[in-house]
Amino acid sequence: MSELTLTLIKLGFLALLWMFVLAVLSVIRSDLFGAKVDSRAAAAVVPQNSRTPKPSKPVKKRKGLPGSVTIADGPQAGVGASLGDEPVIIGRGSDCQIRLDDDYSSTRHARLFLSEGQWWVEDLGSTNGTYLDGQRVTRPVPAEIGGSIRIGRTTLNIAK
Amino acid sequence: MSIASTSVIQIIPRTRRGVELLLLVIAIAVSVGAYVNIGITVQNAVPASTGYYAAGIGLLALIAHLALRYRAPYADPVLLPCAVLLNGLGVAMIHRIDLGLAIVAEAKGKVPKAPAAPQQITWTAVGIVLFLVVILVIRDHRRLQALTYTAGLVGLLLLVLPLIPGLGVNLNGARIWIRLAGMSFQPGEFAKICLVVFFAGYLVVKRDVLTLAGHRFLGLDLPRARDLGPIGIAWAVSLGVLVFESDLGSSLLFFGLFLFLLYVSTERAGWLIIGGLLFVGGAYFAYMTFGHVHRRVTDWLNPWAIDGGQVKLGLMGQAWGGILGRGLGQGHPEATLYANSDMIISSFAEELGLTGLIAILLVYTLIIERGLRTALGCRDIFGKLIATGLAMSFALQVFVIVGGVTGLIPLTGLATPFMALGGTSLVANWAIIALLLRISDQARRPQTPAAPVSDETIAMAVQKA
């Protein structure tokens, strides 16, 4: 066997080995690069410590309280919870009222709760953030009818 | 309605079994390619046994793949192909060293030893059988939580088994083997799995106590003294393994596993610092006190002093391999002692070079990454901890053995997962992959969708409330 053939076989085998590694990497690339992130989200990285709603927050025109929150699209569309008095926790965990089937949501991702005659959305320190009408939720913000909450890849609508 | 401009990506639960099949085909192609390559360079012809080798490894991989399609359709698509690739490459290298040793024996006019590769293929088959048993029997990993303390007891027993006189044997300076019915086993490999189950089950229950109680010191959350009990016991046991079994690798693996899981479950860096200090202190004490530990360290610090030492020959082989390697079948890895078990990484570095070694280490990294990814995706804490523990045991084991072979840390007798010659380790690793796949199936499976909520049911629910 000539030297050249042996070298070609050697390089060919290394190429084959690397082809496997690259094939695996292409399968899992979404893990490496993550989901597309809203550019505003990157700008709005604010430390979030305020756990309680600020009473000074002016309450805008109220058209009655929201009555339900429902997943808007995807295979889980229609799944939701009614907003009574109890807080509603949204996330992937089994103890959540709304259990999302979304790899990009955290186990306990966000919370909706009633305070001062108003429903609020609060992010529970999630990895990928919670968005209310496109704005990142960095502290509890009022949730109003017609608003939409985005968690990971899932959108939830707030309705009467 | 002012919905944000971000487009919502549809989540379609995909089983990805097709992708797995494709990757399996490539993995088998690499393994068979290595086998043929070795035949061409060493024997100047495509070996006649290529068909058997390809059929054997293909059939085993196919059985595992079909079992996943049948019982765990949403399992991770990457783990099985990675494991098959490492196993196939390992068998090819063991075969290559068989050939090398036969040539050496012939030159010396001796009768060559029986080849080790067929034995390794048999053990691969046993490993796949255990893989099937785990996938088919354990339908839900959460059932294992009921076995927390049983697993802990069994794990400890397995760990001390080699110390029993008459059963344990001293091999290569470490007492981590038992001999039973004419065959050697390394019970520590299975102890690892049992202990991961035990640690996970224990920490699920205790993590709140370990997290919440404590005081701050120098910016660190330190635990209460009475909560130090478990880590103290783990430390004592791992030090016992180091002293009585003379096995730094198992000791590091065992203690590191516990420490990682403690850190992951409590999210407190204080444990890592306490544990690190404990380990360094314990290791230093053992180094000063016990002769065999001392010898390991001196061998590591000065490998050139020993004539024909395996680390020395291994390092020389790696240097000879260089960037692109000698080419499969064109080096002399068989010159190193234990070239097909402890030193198999160095054999690969010699023949595939740094380029091939990095690819192999990347495949290990991918398995570990998928394990941690499974932990992230898992919905229950017990499953999270088991997946983390199994992935970390893999990571620690690769670190300890590759670190030893490349001269980063003292060499110890831990098996290179999936590659090294040795039945127990191979079989145990297939069980680990099966467990990870089982948990990932649970994690990636779409949740049973609740019945769509119509406006009326919401209205009724509101009225009830």
What percentage of chain B carries pLDDT values higher than 90?
40
Specify the pLDDT at position B454: 52
Q: How far apart are the CA of B76 and the nearest CA of chain A, in angstroms? A: 10
Q: Please give the Cα distance from A29 to A22 (Å, whole number).
A: 10
Specify the pLDDT at position A24: 93
Residue B241: which of B414, B81, B426, B67 has the closest Cα?
B414
Residue B433 predicted with pLDDT over 90: yes
Specify the pLDDT at position B368: 96
Q: Give the nearest chain B residue to A96 (CA atoms).
A: B379
Specify the pLDDT at position A23: 94
Q: Please give the Cα distance from B256 to A130 (Å, whole number).
A: 36
For residue B464, give the amino acid letter.
K
Dihedral of CA B58/B372/B401/B171: which sign? Answer: negative
More confident residue, B41 or A35: B41
Lookup: tokens for B190: 């299975």
Specify the pLDDT at position A85: 79
A contacts of B37 (beta carbons < 8 Å): 9-10, 13
Residue A157: which of A91, A71, A88 has the closest Cα?
A71
| Mean pLDDT score of chain A | 77
Residue B183 DSSP class: E
Please tell me if residue B330 touches chain A, with a CB cutoff of 8 Å: yes
Specify the pLDDT at position B457: 52
Q: Do A134 and B6 touch (CB under 8 A)?
A: yes
Specify the pLDDT at position B225: 66
Cβ proximity of A113 and A121 under 8 Å: no
Residue A157 predicted with pLDDT over 60: yes
Specify the pLDDT at position A30: 65
Please tell me if residue B85 touches chain A, with a CB cutoff of 8 Å: yes
Specify the pLDDT at position A31: 60
Specify the pLDDT at position B222: 65
More confident residue, B12 or A130: A130
Q: Please give the Cα distance from B278 to B410 (Å, whole number).
A: 19
Q: Among the listed ranges B108-122, B139-153, B175-189, B427-441, which one has the minimum average pLDDT value? A: B175-189
Specify the pLDDT at position A44: 44
**Both ends of chain A: CA-CA distance in Å?**
80
ipTM of the complex: 0.87
A contacts of B38 (beta carbons < 8 Å): none
Specify the pLDDT at position B215: 64
More confident residue, A131 or B165: A131
Residue B239: which of B295, B290, B186 has the closest Cα?
B290
Cβ proximity of A137 and A143 under 8 Å: no
Specify the pLDDT at position B306: 75
Label the pairing between strands A130-132 and A110-115. Answer: unpaired
Cβ proximity of B135 and B129 under 8 Å: no
User: For residue range B186-236, what is the model confidence (pLDDT) as tens digits?
Assistant: 888 898 899 899 889 988 888 777 777 666 666 566 666 666 677 677 778
What percentage of chain B carries pLDDT values higher than 70?
87
Cβ neighbours for B31, distance < 8 A, ≥ 6 positions apart: B57, B84, B85, B87, B88, B89, B91, B92
Q: How far apart are the CA of B146 and the nearest CA of chain A, in angstroms? A: 19
Q: Do A75 and B82 touch (CB under 8 A)?
A: no
Residue B11 predicted with pLDDT over 50: no
Q: Give the nearest chain B residue to A19 (CA atoms).
A: B26
User: For residue range B118-165, what is the model confidence (pLDDT) as tens digits?
Assistant: 999 999 999 999 999 999 999 888 889 898 889 988 988 888 888 887
From residue B172, how far is each of B176, B189, B303, B397 by CA, in Å?
A: 10, 17, 17, 18
User: Bridge-partner residues for B174, per DSSP?
Assistant: B171
User: Bridge-partner residues for B220, per DSSP?
Assistant: B217
Full DSSP string of B249-315: HHHHHHHHHHHHHHHHHH--HHHHHHHHHHHHHHHHHHHHH-HHHHHHHHHHH-GGGSTT-HHHHHH
Label the pairing between strands A88-91 and A98-99. Answer: parallel
User: For residue range A92-120, what is the model confidence (pLDDT) as tens digits?
Assistant: 877 788 888 887 888 888 888 888 888 88
Q: Please give the Cα distance from A34 to B206 (Å, whole number).
A: 33
Specify the pLDDT at position B110: 85
Mean pLDDT of B68-75: 91
Cβ proximity of B404 and B174 under 8 Å: no
Please tell me if residue B448 touches chain A, with a CB cutoff of 8 Å: no
Residue B2 predicted with pLDDT over 60: no
Specify the pLDDT at position B367: 96
Residue A49 predicted with pLDDT over 80: no
CA dihedral B316, B321, B326, B331 (to 10 degrees): 20
Residue B355 predicted with pLDDT over 70: yes
Residue B461 predicted with pLDDT over 60: no
Q: Do A7 and B327 touch (CB under 8 A)?
A: yes
Specify the pLDDT at position B213: 66
Mean pLDDT of B75-80: 93
Dmax (CA) for chain B in angstroms is: 93
Residue A53: exposed, middle, or buried by beta-carbon count in 10 A (0-12, 13-18, 19+)?
middle
Specify the pLDDT at position B429: 95
Residue B392: which of B371, B362, B363, B361 has the closest Cα?
B371
Q: Do A153 and B330 touch (CB under 8 A)?
A: no
Residue B31 predicted with pLDDT over 90: yes
A contacts of B140 (beta carbons < 8 Å): none
Mean pLDDT of B48-77: 92
Q: How many residues are there in chain A?
A: 160
